[in-house]
Structure 1
Amino acid sequence: MFFPKDEKGSTACPKCRNEPIEFSGPKDKLRHLKNVLRDNAAKGNMLTIPQLSEISQIDDTVIWEFINSGQLDVASFSDPDVRDFVVKRRREKLKEAQSRVAQPVSSEPEPTKKHSGFHKRVDG
Structure 2
Amino acid sequence: MTTKYTPEHEWINIEDHDAAVVGITQHAQDALGDVVFVDLPEVGKTYAKGEVAGVVESVKAAADIYMPVSGEVVEVNEALRDQPDLANSDPMGEGWFFKVRITNMAEFDELMDGPAYDVLLKSES
- Report the TM-score when normalising by structure 1: 0.22
Q: Considering fraction of residues, name the structure with more strand.
A: 2
- Structure index of larger Rg: 1
Q: Which has the higher helix share?
A: 1
TM-score normalised to the size of structure 2? 0.22
Higher relative contact order (CA 8 A, sep 6+): 2
